[in-house]
């Protein structure tokens, strides 16, 4: 729910001035004040009067009451001030339930001596001075609070509170295409922003300033080129979302900002960082009491602007403090739920994003191979292929990447199709490479991702292979395939691509003890991200019941029914000299899984022959290892 109401929760030990400051603040802001003391049960008051400290169970109902006051105010979109000692972290959790992102914790901080002195002058209060020590004993100073020194005069305290609570809610670092679009998305959702972009003479000048100037929704944001004032412009705990280049630049920025941060602040990395870097950064920053969240963000520029898919991981406690900010900008699934979800600990969010990109690589390559067959073997013009893809996109093959390709194939520059003017050399930014390495390290045969990645690499070997390319003439085979066969082959290969991708996630979940929820990952991939598709909706159901796609009867039957078409497509394409690494890898994977005639027994025998590596026997269920003197 988008709400602008705020709960100002003044906390601190008894006698720290919560009521006085709360009333002053309420008068200044023109909003109601609630004194937590008024909500104690008669038995609690009796206990305190008798000088007996309250315990957790005494306080439970009272804290629930305070939570109720706050939530009622928020539902009515009404800001209120509440005074409550809220001494322990778990008390604050009870108070804050369903109010994340709407509470300012304002901690009135002072020495015991000063408070004792003030309590001595206090009349008609049931709390005896003797209980003060018990309050200090259990006080857990909250990192996530605005700290106000109670030795200051009252008006200065109120002014400081007003100043601090007026600061920006979120800092965005890096205003490239993605950072700027995310910032605009947050601003449109009412989040008060501070924007930082580094200054590089002649290269990155006035970036924040220009963004604020060029986009009306950013007009109220504050812009910075220096880290210190940027940090100071944020309310505590500071939440800083980085959208900068992965790798060294991310580490350099962390080093630069760290001296300006305080315990409890939260740094969020939304770039395509490597999951192991994220794990390392979480551990490093934890030692300095700074929370670090690594999050995958998918959807490109449009997704960032209108609703991306978001995959955060790291310390759960910190995630809960930014959850509302992520949910508010995320795309929504078909039931209106945000396509954002806590993925797990460590760098699991970046790992999941990395595999998302691996699946993306293979999805792209499959479309490219299908296009190549239709164009070069069947002789269809790009606009005709666009029509066909458009038709496919109306049904179960619907996907963002297919839809994008329709637009691509329709695009003309002068009389030419733009696609024909684009150099045949594919780039990459590294996530497909990492996905391939991780799959391999985890022992998962991700032939399709690897095939798609290597297809990009092959395309860069221009110098060494271009002569061979020119000599290679694509031969059309005598009979061409029906369009239904091409469609069925593409359908089958896509299912296999998803099976392999999710298998890597399953293996990583077991290996790293991440407890990944595959069904929920599929759900947050149904909208906002690059691989959103109708098939992904099916993945939600399949992974709800199974942890492997091929264990799903419906999917299994579909693959069996489609295999012949996949085979025909591969045979025809290869006979026509087409490169089809992804379709071929998918068919080969099925053949390997279903092969009656195994090959691994030969491998085992060879290993035992030259290295005495031993083998197991088919008929020995005990799993005993044998060695033969060959």
Active site residues: 353, 360
**Choices 6-14, 428-436, 487-495, 548-556 (CB under 6 A): range interacting with ligand 6PG:** 428-436
Closest CA to 444 of 493, 506, 495, 492: 506
Neighbours of 544 (CB within 10 A): 14
- Choose between 522 and 555: whose C-beta lies nearer to ligand 6PG: 522
**Choices 24-32, 111-119, 387-395, 426-434 (CB under 6 A): range interacting with ligand 6PG:** 426-434
Contacts of 117 (CB under 8 A, 6+ apart): none
Radius of gyration over alpha carbons of the chain, in Å?
30
Q: How far is CA 271 from CA 15, 80, 338, in A?
A: 47, 37, 20
Strands (E), 169-317: 170-173, 193-196, 222-224, 239-242, 266-269, 291-298, 309-313
- Choose between 47 and 353: whose C-beta lies nearer to ligand 6PG: 353
Question: DSSP 3-state assignment of 628?
Answer: coil
Under the binding rule (CB under 6 A), the answer on residue 363 touching ligand 6PG is no
Q: How far is the CB of 429 from ligand 6PG (least distance, A)?
A: 4
**Choices 118-126, 232-240, 298-306, 511-519 (CB under 6 A): range interacting with ligand 6PG:** 298-306
Closest CA to 502 of 457, 535, 453, 454: 535
Which residues ranging from 62 to 121 are in contact with ligand 6PG (CB under 6 A)? none
Q: How far is the CB of 302 from ligand 6PG (least distance, A)?
A: 10
Are the beta carbons of 87 and 135 closer than 8 angstroms? yes
**Choices 89-97, 194-202, 429-437, 482-490 (CB under 6 A): range interacting with ligand 6PG:** 429-437
Q: How far is the CB of 299 from ligand 6PG (least distance, A)?
A: 5
Q: How far is the CB of 433 from ligand 6PG (least distance, A)?
A: 8
Pairing of strands 309-313, 412-413: unpaired
Q: How far is the CB of 357 from ligand 6PG (least distance, A)?
A: 5
- Choose between 431 and 527: whose C-beta lies nearer to ligand 6PG: 431
- Choose between 428 and 459: whose C-beta lies nearer to ligand 6PG: 428
- Choose between 258 and 426: whose C-beta lies nearer to ligand 6PG: 426
Which residues ranging from 528 to 567 are in contact with ligand 6PG (CB under 6 A)? 529-530
Under the binding rule (CB under 6 A), the answer on residue 431 touching ligand 6PG is yes
Under the binding rule (CB under 6 A), the answer on residue 432 touching ligand 6PG is yes
The label of the residue with tokens 């009515």 reads 76
Under the binding rule (CB under 6 A), the answer on residue 300 touching ligand 6PG is yes
Q: How far is the CB of 57 from ligand 6PG (least distance, A)?
A: 48
Under the binding rule (CB under 6 A), the answer on residue 22 touching ligand 6PG is no
113-128 b/e (C-beta count within 10 Å ≥ 16 → b) = eebeebbeeeeeeebe
Q: How far is the CB of 360 from ligand 6PG (least distance, A)?
A: 5
Q: How far is the CB of 178 from ligand 6PG (least distance, A)?
A: 8
- For residue 332, the 8-state DSSP code is B
Are the beta carbons of 307 and 236 closer than 8 angstroms? no
- Choose between 231 and 448: whose C-beta lies nearer to ligand 6PG: 448
Which residues ranging from 477 to 536 are in contact with ligand 6PG (CB under 6 A)? 529-530
d(CA 256, CA 192): 23
Pairing of strands 193-196, 222-224: parallel
Q: How far is the CB of 452 from ligand 6PG (least distance, A)?
A: 10
Query: How many chain residues interact with ligand 6PG (CB under 6 A)?
Result: 13
Neighbours of 77 (CB within 10 A): 11
Are the beta carbons of 44 and 99 closer than 8 angstroms? no
Under the binding rule (CB under 6 A), the answer on residue 429 touching ligand 6PG is yes
Strands (E), 185-301: 193-196, 222-224, 239-242, 266-269, 291-298
Contacts of 587 (CB under 8 A, 6+ apart): 493, 563, 566, 567, 570
- Choose between 431 and 586: whose C-beta lies nearer to ligand 6PG: 431
- Choose between 455 and 489: whose C-beta lies nearer to ligand 6PG: 455
Pairing of strands 309-313, 291-298: antiparallel
**Choices 277-285, 297-305, 436-444, 580-588 (CB under 6 A): range interacting with ligand 6PG:** 297-305
DSSP bridge partners of 615: 626
Give, in degrees to the nearest 5, the angle at Cα 295 between 292 and 301. 135
H-helix or E-strand containing 175? none
Are the beta carbons of 250 and 271 closer than 8 angstroms? yes
Strands (E), 141-230: 146-149, 170-173, 193-196, 222-224
Are the beta carbons of 83 and 73 closer than 8 angstroms? no
Under the binding rule (CB under 6 A), the answer on residue 360 touching ligand 6PG is yes
- Choose between 236 and 298: whose C-beta lies nearer to ligand 6PG: 298
- 400 phi and psi angles, rounded to 5 deg: -60, -40
**Choices 245-253, 278-286, 296-304, 493-501 (CB under 6 A): range interacting with ligand 6PG:** 296-304
DSSP bridge partners of 311: 296
Question: Cα 42 from chain centroid?
Answer: 47
**Choices 1-9, 149-157, 425-433, 478-486 (CB under 6 A): range interacting with ligand 6PG:** 425-433
Which residues ranging from 265 to 284 are in contact with ligand 6PG (CB under 6 A)? 272
Which residues ranging from 338 to 357 are in contact with ligand 6PG (CB under 6 A)? 357
- Choose between 436 and 576: whose C-beta lies nearer to ligand 6PG: 436
- Choose between 202 and 427: whose C-beta lies nearer to ligand 6PG: 427
Q: Which residue is nearest to ligand 6PG (CB)?
A: 298
d(CA 118, CA 122): 7
Under the binding rule (CB under 6 A), the answer on residue 299 touching ligand 6PG is yes
Q: How far is the CB of 86 from ligand 6PG (least distance, A)?
A: 41
- Choose between 135 and 273: whose C-beta lies nearer to ligand 6PG: 273
| Choice from 14, 298, 405, 533 touching ligand 6PG (CB under 6 A) | 298
d(CA 260, CA 267): 12
Looking only at Cα atoms, what is the longest distance across the chain?
102
Name the site residues for ligand 6PG (rule: CB under 6 A).
Answer: 272, 298-300, 357, 360, 427-429, 431-432, 529-530
């Amino acid at each position: 729910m988008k709400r602008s109401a705020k709960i100002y929760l003044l906390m601190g030990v008894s006698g720290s001035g919560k009521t006085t400051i709360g009333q002053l603040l309420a008068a200044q802001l023109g909003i109601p004040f609630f004194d937590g003391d008024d909500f104690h049960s008669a038995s609690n008051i009796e206990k305190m009067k008798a000088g007996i400290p309250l315990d957790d169970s005494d306080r439970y109902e009272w804290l629930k009451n305070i939570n109720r006051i706050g939530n009622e105010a928020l539902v009515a979109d009404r800001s209120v001030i509440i005074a409550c000692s809220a001494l322990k972290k778990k008390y604050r959790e009870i108070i804050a339930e369903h109010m994340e992102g709407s509470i300012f914790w304002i901690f009135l901080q002072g020495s015991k001596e000063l408070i004792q002195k003030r309590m001595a002058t206090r009349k008609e209060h049931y709390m005896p001075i003797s209980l003060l020590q018990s309050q200090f004993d259990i006080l857990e100073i909250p990192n996530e609070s605005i700290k106000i020194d109670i030795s200051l005069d009252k008006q200065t305290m109120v002014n400081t509170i007003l100043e601090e609570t007026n600061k920006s809610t979120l800092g965005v670092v890096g205003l490239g295409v993605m950072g700027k679009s995310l910032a605009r998305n947050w601003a449109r959702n009412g989040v008060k922003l501070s924007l930082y972009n580094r200054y590089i003479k002649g290269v990155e000048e006035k970036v924040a300033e220009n963004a604020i100037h060029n986009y009306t929704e950013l007009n109220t944001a504050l812009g910075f080129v220096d880290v210190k004032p940027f940090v100071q412009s944020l309310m505590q705990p500071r939440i800083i979302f980085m959208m900068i280049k992965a790798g060294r630049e991310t580490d350099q920025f962390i080093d630069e900002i760290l001296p300006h941060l305080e315990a409890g602040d939260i740094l969020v990395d939304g770039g395509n960082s490597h999951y192991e870097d994220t794990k390392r950064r979480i551990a490093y920053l934890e030692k300095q009491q700074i929370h670090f969240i690594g999050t995958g963000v998918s959807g490109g520029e449009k997704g960032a602007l209108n609703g991306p898919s978001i995959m955060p991981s790291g310390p759960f406690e910190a995630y809960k403090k930014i959850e509302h900010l992520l949910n508010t900008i995320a795309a929504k699934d078909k039931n209106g739920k945000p396509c954002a979800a806590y993925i797990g600990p460590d760098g699991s969010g970046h790992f999941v994003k990395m595999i998302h990109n691996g699946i993306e690589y293979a999805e792209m390559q499959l479309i490219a191979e299908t296009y190549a067959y239709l164009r070069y073997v069947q002789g269809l013009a790009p606009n005709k292929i666009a029509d066909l893809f458009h038709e496919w996109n109306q049904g179960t093959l619907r996907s963002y990447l297919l839809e994008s390709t329709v637009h691509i194939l329709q695009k003309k520059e002068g009389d030419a199709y733009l696609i024909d003017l684009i150099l045949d050399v594919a780039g990459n930014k590294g996530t497909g490479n990492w996905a391939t390495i991780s799959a391999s390290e985890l022992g998962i045969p991700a032939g399709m991702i690897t095939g798609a990645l290597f297809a990009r690499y092959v395309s860069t070997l221009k110098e060494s292979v271009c002569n061979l390319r020119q000599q290679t003439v694509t031969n059309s085979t005598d009979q061409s395939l029906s369009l239904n066969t091409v469609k069925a082959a593409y359908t089958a290969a896509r299912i296999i691509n998803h099976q392999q991708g999710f298998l890597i996630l399953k293996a990583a979940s077991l290996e790293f003890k991440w407890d990944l929820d595959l069904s929920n990952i599929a759900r947050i991939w149904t909208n906002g991200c690059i691989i959103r598709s109708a098939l992904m909706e099916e993945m939600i159901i399949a992974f709800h019941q199974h942890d492997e796609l091929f264990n799903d009867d419906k999917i299994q039957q579909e693959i069996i029914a489609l295999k012949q078409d996949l085979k025909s497509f591969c045979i025809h394409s290869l006979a026509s000299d087409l490169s089809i690494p992804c379709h071929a890898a998918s068919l080969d994977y099925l053949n390997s899984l279903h092969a009656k005639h195994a090959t691994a027994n030969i491998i085992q025998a060879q290993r035992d022959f030259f290295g005495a590596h031993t083998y197991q026997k088919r008929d020995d269920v005990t799993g005993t290892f044998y060695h033969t003197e060959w």
